[in-house]
Amino acid sequence: MKQKRSMKNTWDTVFLCLVCAFFLLAALWTALRPKAFWSYFENRSLTPRPALTREAVVDGTYFQELEKHLCDNAAGRKYALGLSTWIDLELLHRPVVNDVVVEKDILLAYNEYEKPDEQAMADCAAQEAERLGRLARLTESWGGTFLYVAVPSHYAYFAQRYPGWLNNREAYTALSKELFFSALDSQNVPWLDVGEVWSRDGDPADYMSATDHHWTLAGCLSAYREILRTLESRTGLELEALTGENARLTTLPNSFLGSRGRKLLGLWDTGERLSYLEPLESVPFTRRDNGQEVAPSVFSFPASDSETLQYGFYMGGDIPETVISTDRPQLPSLLIYGDSFTNLLETLMYFSFDTTYTIDLRGYTEMPLLSYVEAQRPQVVVCVRDYEQLLSLFGNGNIE
């Protein structure tokens, strides 16, 4: 009996030592290994190591930030996230994983419960419309044309695909559109609702990505052609569009990792692929990003067919300032600004204009957009924002 008890105590001691060694090695690995600054799959910045100051220690913020930093840089964190995500998807079949609503053939954003504040929304709509009114009047002062283009956000376009017990933001979307478009009308700001265009098309499912929060080439083409038709009717210009007769459609064989699929660490795949359109007769152009000349291409082609692609394939992602010059002075100039929905649209729009300026105010800080527009004096100014951003006064909502 004593021998058995002694053996048990020995194994308990060995086990305890192994556990302690594991945690010690993990702690040393966490402390000594090079620190990352960005989480590729989570698409976010990792928490940096906080500065050790008396004030931060006294008020407790140092320890709070240190805990976040250690959690973000814990040894084996990526593998633990992958295992946890796989278990949630494949074993537990959870309906929401990593803030992604997992349906049969589509990934949707998880939306927290909300009660829309109509007065606050109306105030934001009025303030943003007033800013846009100033931009529209400035553009018109030299004979130019301004057009605001509203694009359905992913959750709004697929609102009916949400389970009944989850928030699809239908009430918020309807109210924000009503308040915002009414405010634009009061400022005499021309606008185009792409959602109405897509409704006329029958709301095809392939107009929006199944695994990313952006539109597809098919959806963008529908909007692009309506934008050009609207500009032609308002300006009298004749703007040649890319069509099936003068352009070539190509679908890449590479796997596509959308923003929703990335949150699931690439473990959920619909076989979705990226497509692009290019003119049969190429239009020579120069391209400058943030003042520096770069390769004259509107696509970031992969090195091989095995490389995984993301939405950043179009225009190389979000660039603060891009200027494309085609040396065709007989054509008008264009300035287009907005969030990442513009990226795919830019690969089409440059074809119809002499010089195309693109600004993303989330990164561009050289001067306010109003000053930039006045300096360049483009003949056409187009703002592109999705429904979720209509009432946002920051980023591309802050043109001042």
- The residue-averaged pLDDT of 93-120 equals 94
Give the per-residue pLDDT at 179: 98
* In the predicted structure, residue 22 carries a pLDDT above the cut 70: no
E strand or H helix at 86:
helix 77-86
pLDDT digit string, tens, across residues 216-251 = 999 999 999 999 999 999 999 999 999 989 999 999
* In the predicted structure, residue 127 carries a pLDDT above the cut 80: yes
What's the sign of the alpha-carbon dihedral 351, 224, 370, 154? Answer: negative
pLDDT digit string, tens, across residues 157-180 = 999 999 999 999 999 999 999 999
Give the per-residue pLDDT at 26: 46
Give the per-residue pLDDT at 220: 98
Average pLDDT, rounded, for the chain = 89
* In the predicted structure, residue 46 carries a pLDDT above the cut 90: no
What is the C-alpha separation between 341 and 258, in angstroms, rounded?
14
Structure tokens at 320: 């603060």
Per-residue pLDDT band at 34 (split at 50, 70, 90) = low
Per-residue pLDDT band at 70 (split at 50, 70, 90) = low
- The residue-averaged pLDDT of 182-195 equals 98
What's the sign of the alpha-carbon dihedral 375, 376, 381, 386? Answer: negative
- The residue-averaged pLDDT of 20-25 equals 53
- The residue-averaged pLDDT of 125-140 equals 98
pLDDT digit string, tens, across residues 248-283 = 999 999 999 999 999 998 898 888 999 999 999 999
CB burial class (10 A; 0-12, 13-18, 19+) of residue 359? buried
E strand or H helix at 331:
none
Percent with pLDDT over 70 in the chain:
84
CB burial class (10 A; 0-12, 13-18, 19+) of residue 148? buried
Query: What single-letter amino acid sits at 86?
Result: W
**All structural domains of the chain with their residue ranges:** 118-397
Q: Tell me which of 54-68, 111-125, 343-357 is least confident.
A: 54-68
pLDDT digit string, tens, across residues 314-339 = 999 999 999 999 999 999 999 999 99
Give the per-residue pLDDT at 81: 82
What is the C-alpha separation between 378 and 368, in angstroms, rounded?
15
Rounded to 10 degrees, what is the CA torsion of 213, 214, 218, 223? 130
Rounded to 10 degrees, what is the CA torsion of 225, 229, 230, 231? 100
Percent with pLDDT over 90 in the chain:
75
Give the per-residue pLDDT at 20: 58
